[in-house]
Amino acid sequence: MSLSSIDDVLRGWDGELAVSCHDERTDTWMFIAVHSTKLGPAGGGTRMKSYAAPADALRDACLLGRAMTLKMAVAGLPMGGGKSVLAVPRELSAADRRHLLLRHAHNVEVLKGSYRTGPDMNTTSDDMDVLGEVTEFAFGRSEARGGSGSSAPDTAVGCFEGIKASVAHVFGSPDLAGRSVLVQGVGAVGEPLVRTLHAAGANVLVSDVSLPRVSALYDELGVEVLAPESVIGAEVDVYAPCATGGVIDAAAIPRLRCRIVAGAANNPLGAPEDGELLSEAGILYAPDFVINGGGAIHLIGYEALKWSKEQVDAGVVGIGATLTEIYARADAEGISTETAAERLAYARLGQPAPPA
Ligand code: PHE
């Protein structure tokens, strides 16, 4: 079932422009949403995923692009925000995938650097190397091809720091020993996050729609595995969504049994007002575009700003302090953490924040 029409996606969206085409060979709808170039060229990954209808994919690109604008602004990076979505009808053969990526690279090239892409859900450094055959505007190529490699491990580090800052805010100490943390989605970001949490002594629970992924972690680390349908009601200190967005909505919030929501997934809230609902339910929410900024800091830091590893690491670890500041502001002003984070982003953009 389609949740949106192109009409209501674009009418309600405050971005600059969205471009689209349909690739006949693979039956893929291709979208690039340029949300903002106010602070610099729009940056944001290429997501490959199936959707019920093209308008749903466009909506995802538009909203994810907006989240990228906020992410770059909060992280203090001189970039705007955008996103691309390749709405594939099914998993593609290697040859079809390459064909699609080359076409996408051409589209990125047509935008002449006003949109620069990178890896995102279901795309990797190898895919960025393919884009790099056609366009220079692809971050996250392999090191062999002159890129900075996968940004996912740094996204995980930033998320780990954000979880510690959130635990410190709620429990008075950042110590994770004995704290239960549920990681939903153990892909490129979730998997290294699980390892780091486990090493820090947390009691880690995992869930993923892919059984082989969770069973490998169970065999290796002995982490508890939850069925996907048990995630929302799980009684844990921290729930870390690290898969697709929209998992926390008005139906899910009353069923949550966690104290903190702090994960790396982009746009985990079903709607902006769900940030207020979480706050009313007494659950601390780490805004996604703050806690998952580690990948952007890695890609833009190394590749656009030519930062050293020390500078990138300091930026990624700084996500913890940024969240602590946002929590303090939210408490002081009696607003949700989502609203506090949006206000910080809009202040950097020099624009008024939309009404809370
Ligand atoms: N897709 C990742 C994110 O959402 C990494 C990324 C950042 C890709 C910036 C391109 C540009 O943060």
Distance of CA 188 to the CA centre of its chain: 12
Report the candidate in 6, 87, 5 with the shortest Cα–Cα distance to residue 46.
Answer: 87
Average of pLDDT values for 258-286?
A: 95
Best probe residue, ligand 1, of 139, 189, 242, 303 (max atoms within 8 Å of C-beta): 139
| 298 located within any domain | no
- Domain with residue 213: its CATH number is 3.40.50.720
Q: How far apart are CA 5 and CA 141, in angstroms?
A: 34
Domain range for residue 267? 152-292+321-349
- Rounded to a whole number of angstroms, the distance between the first and last alpha carbons of the chain is 30
* pLDDT for residue 244: 87
* pLDDT for residue 272: 84
Query: DSSP secondary-structure letter at 266?
Result: S
- Can you spell out the DSSP letters for 170-188? HHS----TT-EEEEE--ST
Point out the domain boundary residue: 94, 113, 141: 141
Q: Are residues 181 and 282 in the same domain?
A: yes
* pLDDT for residue 2: 55
Q: Are residues 116 and 191 in the same domain?
A: no
| 315 located within any domain | no
Point out the domain boundary residue: 120, 141, 162: 141
Best probe residue, ligand 1, of 85, 122, 299 (max atoms within 8 Å of C-beta): 299
- Domain with residue 46: its CATH number is 3.40.50.10860
Average of pLDDT values for 36-49?
A: 98
Which sequence positions are flagged as catalytic? 83
Residue showing tokens 């589209």: 107
- Can you spell out the DSSP letters for 152-220? HHHHHHHHHHHHHHHHHHHHS----TT-EEEEE--STTHHHHHHHHHHTT-EEEEE-S-HHHHHHHHHH
Report the candidate in 257, 303, 332, 338 with the shortest Cα–Cα distance to residue 70.
Answer: 338
Point out the domain boundary residue: 122, 141, 160: 141
* pLDDT for residue 352: 82
- Mean pLDDT score across all residues of the chain: 96
Residue 1 clears pLDDT 60, i.e. is over it: no
* pLDDT for residue 202: 98
Q: Are residues 206 and 326 in the same domain?
A: yes
Q: How far apart are CA 194 and CA 160, in angstroms?
A: 9
Total number of domains constituting the chain: 2
The SS3 assignment for 20 reads strand
Residue 75 clears pLDDT 90, i.e. is over it: yes
Q: Are residues 160 and 115 in the same domain?
A: no
